Structure 1
Amino acid sequence: MICLDGQEQAEKLVIDNPHKIVDMVDDVEAIKSGNYPPNMPTAEEEIKQRTYDTAHEMYGNPLPLVIEARIEQELKSIISNGFSVIYLVAQRLVAKSNKDGYLVGSRGSVGSSLVALLIGVTEVNALPPHYRSASGDYVEFADPRKYESGYDLPEKFSPIDGTRLIGDGHNIPFATFLGFKGNKVPDIDLNFSGDYQPYAHNYMKSLFGENNVFRAGTIATVADKTAYGYAKAYERENELHLRGAEIDRLATGATGVKRTTGQHPAGILIVPDDMEIYDFTPIQFPADDLSATWKTTHFDFHSIHDNILKMDILGHDDPTMIRALQDMSGIDPHTIPMDDPGVMSLFSSPEVLGVTEEQIMSKTGTLGVPEFGTAFVRGMLEETHPKNYSELLQISGLSHGTDVWRGNADELIKDGVANIGTVIGTRDKIMTDLINYGVQPESAFQIMEKVRKGKGVSEEYQAEMREAGVPEWYIESCFKIKYMFPRAHAAAYVLMALRIAYYKVYFPMLYYAAYFSVRATNFDIVAMSRGLNSTKSKIQEIKQQGNDASAKDKDLLTVLEIANEALERGYDFSMVDLYKSDSEQWIIEGNTLIAPFNSVPGLGDNVAKRIVAARAEGEFLSKEDLAQRGGVSKTLMDFFNENGVLTGMPDENQLALF
């Protein structure tokens, strides 16, 4: 036992000396705080150079003042906040994909940035609607209160050389991407072709080195219902009789507990080359596979999202389908017009396809068109009859929002209070609408931010809106909204959709071949190959199940509806052909699509590829030979027999004696 001699000695030993020891110890961070982007020393200069080079090419030199002001505003925010690296990494990825022949679709609000367009990250032009010449020697801005998209501008010719002018611009404020002060960390999400996604991921290793890029980890936790099941199992196994409150207490304690780790399907984390991943997180191999090509962060990526750069490199069907259509048709998707009358008519009627509503059981021609093919969105089209790009953009925004359409915009349109062009369809439209009414830009931004998050409008802002002449129905609509889609995201989606719709109208056989090869995964090739009556019968069979239909049958219904449309347009489907079918792709032969092997129920990709490989080695001598060399099971052989695939083929190999 230590005896302390007086208060002074006690304070020295208990208070002063421990403080001195603490002061001698450096600050220790188990996990680094702060933001550590990759080291790209010339990023700021390169972003600026690329931006102005493209701007001068598109809009001439000197630039119109409104365009130069927008560029300077954005570059100031991007460079002063250290965001240049994020933009440049995205530029590198998109440029690589485009060079390799695959378009990239942008997601989220990145299309709100003019700089993102000019350096090649997005195809969405955020400027107000305008005309520009292909040579960059003429620019003319339109009234944004009359036209919300440059794609809707009427045809006009250059007063300089008489060439047709290009309509461009979707009037998207930069504030919706980086905030009103331009200091919000940008989140650039990109949709790569699903086929190209692994190459895009690996390209990150080429850019930054294998030891500096990692797949983002995820953590799965125990869900409410699972935790409740654990509590009930505990009660049962221990022969207890617990009250409901105790069961709830035990379940609450287990809810949210880490259950397993996983790998984000798209997220790639980049560590600066002068640091190590261990400065931020431990790492692991997925499924403890030491031979895996990617290592994964052990910490959930949300935990270190603000410390190191994460790029979301997603896989999507639209770029894959467009690449397939481009390869088959030879038509560059960039040359497809966004105001083609035939394509636009699809959204009101199937007449341009040469079929009636009754034949295809749809009042529009948008079956299989991304964003516009579901029953819900087709219902929206039937109520609104959109006629141009900006109205389609509204439909896209309304279909992705929460409490934006049902009980809100749809009622305003039905009652004749508003139309598809004037209702609130996207978050950005709130800001631009209010500015057009005369509300101050910062107030318009703050109102937009509150409304898009479902927080309504304060009394102070309501007064400002009324003073500017904003109608009451508009204010009431703001209060109903729970979530709103970004205009830039909708613009990018509609752009891809119209390209695919163009092929559907003018290159139907190529469209159906691409659709069934890329987007569809569930088939009934027996019904499809037997023609219209069989296909329609299967459609009715699934519809009669109503809500009791399984998810698989609902997915099949979509495929059969598009197959029915193709049949009504005069195209046929063929059962798999042992010597013509591909393993995965639908083959065009005249007006017939030949089914691939993997469309057969229960026949997977590996067996499909094995059949094709065995076929390349030589003709199948018998059913026995096919089963052995192709790895085809008895069940699949029975399917082939029942559907005439093996007609004329002997059961066993014939032994030649002479």
Structure 2
Amino acid sequence: MGKYQLKSRKEGSVITLLEVDTECRAWYVKADDKDAAVKTLISMGESIRCLESIYVNGDDMTEDILSAFSAARKTSYPEEFMPESETDDFAPQGSYMPPEEMMPDDVPPPDEYGYEEAGAAPLSPLPSAEEIEAAASQSGREEASIADERPSEFAMPDILPDLASVLPKTAFVSSPKKNASGAVNGMYLGKKHITGNPVEIRTITDEADGVVFVGTVINCEMRELRSKKKLFLMSLADETNGISCKKFFDRPEEAGGLEELKAGMAVKVRGNVRFDKYSGGLVLELQQVEKGEIIKIDHEDDYPTPRVELHLHTKMSLDGLIDNEEIIKTAAKWHHPAVAITDHGVIQAFPKIQDLADKYKQKVIYGMEGYMIEDIPADPDTDRQQYNHIIILAKNVTGLRNLYRMVTLSHLKFYRKRPLIPKPILKELHEGLIYGSACVMGEFFRAVLTGKSDEELIEMAKFYDYLEVQPLGNNEFLINDDKFAEVNSEKDLQDLNRKVIEIGEKAGRPVCATSDAHYMFAEDQRNRDILLSNWEKPGKIESHPPVYIRTTQEMLDEFSYLPKEKALEIVVENTRRIADECEVLHPLAEEWKSYNPKISGADEKLVEMCYSNAKAIYGDPLPKEVQERLTLELTPIIKHGYGVLYYIAHKLVKHSNDRGYLVGSRGSVGSSFVATMSGITEVNPLPPHYVCPNCHWTHFYTDGSVGGGFDLPDKACPECGHPLNKNGHNIPFAVFLGFDGDKVPDIDLNFSSGDDQGVAHKYTEELFGRDNVFRAGTIAGIQDKTAYGFVKKYAENRGLTFNDIFIEKLSAGVAGVKRTTGQHPAGIMVCPRDMDIHNFTPLQYAANKKYLKDEEGNRIPGTITTHFDYHSISGRMLKLDILGHDDPKVIRMLQDITGIDPLKIPFDDKKTLSLFSSTEALGLTPQQLGAVIGNKGITVGALGLPEYGTPFVRGMLEDTRPKNFSELVRISGFSHGTDVWLNNAQDLIRSGTVKLEEAISTRDDVMNYLIEHGVRPLTAFKVMENVRKGKGLEKGGFNNKAELDAAHVPQWFIDSCLKIGYLFPRAHAVAYVMMAFRIAWFKVYQPLAYYAAYFTIRAEGSFNAPVILKGLESQKAELARIAALEHSTAVEKGNATVIEVAAEMYLRGMEFLPIDLDRSDASEFKMVDGKLLPPFNCIPALGDAVAKEIVRARGEHLFTSKEDLKKRGKVSQSIIDTMDSMGILKNMPDEEQISLFSF
């Protein structure tokens, strides 16, 4: 039987805990010194507070011990100031680790708040204390005298149940929680700890009272009912099934504790199980909910000299399920000197593993299980060679870089269904690396299995630095494999391992026992079965080997057929020896600033450019406001080495501007005046101001009285009479680079999607060199819905029935396993010219596709990306976000169609502004619009406009009726934020508490408002940072309440801040609104051009030509049909939006021409005779490639028949039929007409 050994640092007494009852409410203790044992127990603090009975050497000492503990506790702390835990006498070693004084033998002891059994069967009747004492005295064994020695097994008579069969594999550990009064109770619902045995959920098949469950919250929500009551709903699951739980509250304040519950939390609950008529199933009506953690109490590695795991697979292996944090945390908890990470063919777990290794102070050996082939293939695409597994471990920085190079070569040059590594490459890059022979799929074990001679095996073994053997269960499948007729029994498997050990001795290579772990613990087998069931054939159930991580003792037991010394050697000594050869490494580059690309003179050019442009606008000498802002920004930018980043962004934007394209800024870059003066952004963050373009007279409004410079009335210069320019949006620089200007700049730019974006990507290669620019790699895991499908298939194949809650719980066990890789649509990673990319990351093809096909079906090279997910390295090497966006593309098309320069459009044009508050500028009434498109957002003219065209935002416009540019910016902020408009600003505006211009809409509003009210800038900045992230007002260790009160900040402002989940940056909103306003101007003054650009660019793929081209009545009928649907599809919703814009165009007196085989463009709407001529790609199922082919063939000569169109235009018969039905091919013969005169 197992037992605990406890030792007090203060008292020095060794005691043995013989037994714990099912609820951990009673301890039965044997001690060599009873008095010292009692003192030891008293010193354990909160660990014993929950106990109801404590027996020491057969005597009931409960009252003495608990009374003494209570007295000591009250002496130390007044009750109202009790700490959340009292562990001064104990030193926890990592999460879930018992104190050193309570190091377990077979299972860990009760923890600080007591282990609660989860789903175990009740104990048989407990023996008396006399029987326990008698049993202990009969054992004839001496207990160990010091705490860190393993006590010998305590032979127990039949009168005591076997603890191994009684104690559960999991335990619920209650954890403290402070309620509003400051008391520590650990309860979300109810006041007392939950007593009684938890039962498995699957055992409850009918109504029952006072049921206790322990499980994990799958999901939960608090609903407010019309009656103003609250209803709490929760889905709970244990390892056997799931159940719904609910609780009604008459008074909302009673539900406070449950509001804190979140998915993934562990709870213990009590309630009555009742049949629920609404769900049609059993529901637990909650009475108590207790906070805690579910831990695996039988997973401890307490061997004095623990082993090292050299072979395991995380979720980055397609068939691995080991969570990064769980393995590192467990290795640290088990005091393993190191642990190796060896995923299949990839090293994508390294970045997160490095962070976790630092967090838990755990040494990690960075490696990979590679796919080795014998020779370098003549043609990697066709040369098929047998591959073998090989373990590759990095022992130093040189080895790490060689491993990176190996990964790159295997993915870019030798990839064939998997990344292959030729043996000559392994030999060439062996420096700094350690090679292991891997598993049954390794070359060496296969050779042993197939009976190679000792001479051949010894020669083969010398290629490796160590050989591997694994538990018999890993290879048990060989017994039933017809290909290996010589393997018929467990003894044959043992003999195979013995042969590996024998050859290792002869070849002078150490042999290491490894788990080849694909999941953490034995009970996690089901998760891997679920994962692999996706590849099972219907009706065929596969069995899979038990490939979990063994503790040291478990691994020694696996090799108990060997001499004890030999087992110890391969399990402990050799694995630690390999680990000792490996240095502590950091796979990712450390100092980001050292790895900026270098451009000669970038800082000087940036400073010169900014001052030159500023003086051209504001004159020389510069106004105080301009000079101070440039100094404020340039000083930290140059100091922290960010000048080159600004200069690079300037070069990219200028390159596009020179080609006639506008570039929009994203994020907070518009908060930087240096970005404005270097041409990176149009947004001017200075306070609202006038500036004379002739004599440079300026006037700034710094008192908050003006929302934005574009709102200022037109005015003539008081000095020279010239019309003044107006600008400035009052955006603090701190929003971009932080209060001290030391935050790494994140410069995101919107290039014209499609045409200019690709050119910008190519330009980065010109700037930095083709071999230094790579697309940002991404990694996609199995999503929740896919995992859900895996569980369903697993259950169906096995004839199992799980409820939805339990399926969701099981699906979480496989969600997140890597499925594929890809690329960020806009991210470009730049490696400095003087550095090797392998200082940062290996490379690969996106989705491992070496070749792709273009629109015409031609084979083109795949996209090379970073092997690591870009998030993990973007802080260590430069990442450029060259995003594609439709707004610059629309504006360029409008400019090309009309010849009007969009940069000359005024942002205070009254007719354009009126679109956002009425339909008057369209020449329409709301009634006319409503008769066709319904009643949502019909009193404003924003249909089709970016930022403002959705029903939700049109509703915001109707609520606010904005009258100037700065109010449009506020609405953009409202629409992009979380919990900013609904139940917040909307209510404040409707109630008249605040005006539109006062409500919080962007993060900058918070900082500006507080500064205007006299709050210190640093405090205002900190409040802004908290509020924008949804953290309230005072997170981050500072208390600003007194300062806010002193500044008389109104309560509505504070309440509004507390509700906000996310705030949009004003600079981003301003940039978007500037683009949207220009497009709106064209809608008013150049309507046909506006609709041509809209349908060409924004309606691509959603233009329902058969409906739209029939006219207004057809459009109206289709909108009514979609509106009547209970659940419309995404395609239907997209079509409806486009039809609404088409209907508006018709109501304004414009219409479409039919698609014309002789005149239509491939993809662009053309203005012809005051109408719009649709392109070919509007025809259902006709893609861009065929549309281009039609136009190309038509350029040779016009089509003469359907047969000619089909042949030269490469048009399928089904599309011919569609074109015929749409009247496009009227009067065209089916076949070529043959005339006698043709001969």
Matches within 5 A, 1:98-497: 98-135=657-694, 137-194=696-753, 195-238=755-798, 251-286=811-846, 287-289=848-850, 292=861, 294-361=863-930, 362-458=938-1034, 460-497=1039-1076
Correspondence for 1:562: 1141
- Structure 1 residues 593 and 437, CA gap change in structure 2 (3 angstroms): same
Tell me how far apart the structure 2 counterparts of residues 312 and 357 of structure 1 sit (CA, whole Å): 41
CA displacement at 1:86 relative to structure 2: 1.1
CA displacement at 1:231 relative to structure 2: 3.8
CA contact under 8 A between 1:56 and 1:136: conserved in structure 2? no
Correspondence for 1:635 among 1214, 1224, 1227: 1214
Tell me how far apart the structure 2 counterparts of residues 610 and 124 of structure 1 sit (CA, whole Å): 42
Amino acid at match of 2:588: I
What secondary structure, in the 3-state scheme, does the structure 2 residue paired with 1:572 have?
A: coil
1:533 is the counterpart of 2:1132: no
CA contact under 8 A between 1:285 and 1:292: conserved in structure 2? no
Tell me how far apart the structure 1 counterparts of residues 1214 and 1026 of structure 2 sit (CA, whole Å): 59
- Structure 1 residues 146 and 634, CA gap change in structure 2 (3 angstroms): same
- Structure 1 residues 550 and 250, CA gap change in structure 2 (3 angstroms): closer
Correspondence for 1:6: none
Correspondence for 2:603: 44
CA displacement at 1:273 relative to structure 2: 0.7
Tell me how far apart the structure 2 counterparts of residues 105 and 47 of structure 1 sit (CA, whole Å): 20
Task: Select the structure that is richer in strand.
Answer: 2
CA displacement at 1:625 relative to structure 2: 1.6
Tell me how far apart the structure 1 counterparts of residues 584 and 784 of structure 2 sit (CA, whole Å): 40
Tell me how far apart the structure 2 counterparts of residues 417 and 270 of structure 1 sit (CA, whole Å): 50
CA shift digits 1:105-147 (9 cap, x unpaired): 0000000000000000000000000001113621111244211
Tell me how far apart the structure 1 counterparts of residues 1119 and 630 of structure 2 sit (CA, whole Å): 53
Correspondence for 2:590: 33
What secondary structure, in the 3-state scheme, does the structure 2 residue paired with 1:552 have?
A: helix
Correspondence for 2:1079: 500
CA-based RMSD of the aligned residues comes to: 2.1
Greater RCO, CA 8 A, separation 6+: 1
CA contact under 8 A between 2:849 and 2:862: conserved in structure 1? no
Tell me how far apart the structure 1 counterparts of residues 809 and 1012 of structure 2 sit (CA, whole Å): 54
CA shift digits 1:179-235 (9 cap, x unpaired): 111101111100000021111111000000001000000001122343343344344
CA displacement at 1:399 relative to structure 2: 0.3
CA shift digits 1:572-616 (9 cap, x unpaired): 112211111101001111221111100011111111111111211
Pick the structure with greater CA Rg: 2
Amino acid at match of 2:850: D
Tell me how far apart the structure 2 counterparts of residues 247 and 367 of structure 1 sit (CA, whole Å): 43
Amino acid at match of 1:527: V
Correspondence for 2:94: none
What secondary structure, in the 3-state scheme, does the structure 2 residue paired with 1:217 have?
A: strand
CA shift digits 1:59-113 (9 cap, x unpaired): 1111112211111110011111111111111111100010011100000000000
- Structure 1 residues 76 and 414, CA gap change in structure 2 (3 angstroms): same
Task: Select the structure that is richer in helix.
Answer: 1
Correspondence for 2:1132: 553
Tell me how far apart the structure 2 counterparts of residues 113 and 355 of structure 1 sit (CA, whole Å): 41
**Structure 1 residues without counterparts, runs of 5 or longer:** 1-21
Tell me how far apart the structure 2 counterparts of residues 352 and 240 of structure 1 sit (CA, whole Å): 64
- Structure 1 residues 244 and 156, CA gap change in structure 2 (3 angstroms): closer
Correspondence for 1:510 among 1058, 1083, 1089: 1089
What secondary structure, in the 3-state scheme, does the structure 2 residue paired with 1:439 have?
A: coil
Q: Calculate the TM-score normalised by the size of structure 2.
A: 0.50
What secondary structure, in the 3-state scheme, does the structure 2 residue paired with 1:196 have?
A: helix
Identity %, equivalent residues: 51
CA shift digits 1:354-399 (9 cap, x unpaired): 1111222311111111101110000000010000011000000000
- Structure 1 residues 26 and 63, CA gap change in structure 2 (3 angstroms): farther
Tell me how far apart the structure 1 counterparts of residues 805 and 909 of structure 2 sit (CA, whole Å): 64
Tell me how far apart the structure 2 counterparts of residues 52 and 506 of structure 1 sit (CA, whole Å): 37
Tell me how far apart the structure 2 counterparts of residues 648 and 247 of structure 1 sit (CA, whole Å): 60
Correspondence for 1:13: none
Greater shift in the superposed pair: 353-362 or 554-563: 353-362
- Structure 1 residues 534 and 73, CA gap change in structure 2 (3 angstroms): same
CA displacement at 1:28 relative to structure 2: 5.5
Tell me how far apart the structure 2 counterparts of residues 246 and 367 of structure 1 sit (CA, whole Å): 45
CA contact under 8 A between 2:694 and 2:722: conserved in structure 1? no
CA displacement at 1:47 relative to structure 2: 1.0
CA displacement at 1:236 relative to structure 2: 4.1
Greater shift in the superposed pair: 622-631 or 110-119: 622-631
CA displacement at 1:246 relative to structure 2: 8.5
CA displacement at 1:26 relative to structure 2: 8.9
- Structure 1 residues 25 and 514, CA gap change in structure 2 (3 angstroms): closer
CA displacement at 1:553 relative to structure 2: 0.9
CA displacement at 1:469 relative to structure 2: 2.1
CA contact under 8 A between 1:105 and 1:190: conserved in structure 2? yes
What secondary structure, in the 3-state scheme, does the structure 2 residue paired with 1:259 have?
A: strand
- Structure 1 residues 233 and 649, CA gap change in structure 2 (3 angstroms): closer
Tell me how far apart the structure 2 counterparts of residues 293 and 46 of structure 1 sit (CA, whole Å): 37
Tell me how far apart the structure 1 counterparts of residues 1233 and 985 of structure 2 sit (CA, whole Å): 72
Tell me how far apart the structure 1 counterparts of residues 644 and 802 of structure 2 sit (CA, whole Å): 57
Amino acid at match of 2:879: K
What secondary structure, in the 3-state scheme, does the structure 1 residue paired with 2:1192 have?
A: helix
Q: Calculate the TM-score normalised by the size of structure 1.
A: 0.93
Tell me how far apart the structure 1 counterparts of residues 715 and 1041 of structure 2 sit (CA, whole Å): 40
Tell me how far apart the structure 2 counterparts of residues 247 and 285 of structure 1 sit (CA, whole Å): 35
The size of the alignment, in residue pairs, is: 637
Correspondence for 2:644 among 82, 85, 92: 85
Tell me how far apart the structure 2 counterparts of residues 266 and 250 of structure 1 sit (CA, whole Å): 35
Amino acid at match of 1:288: K
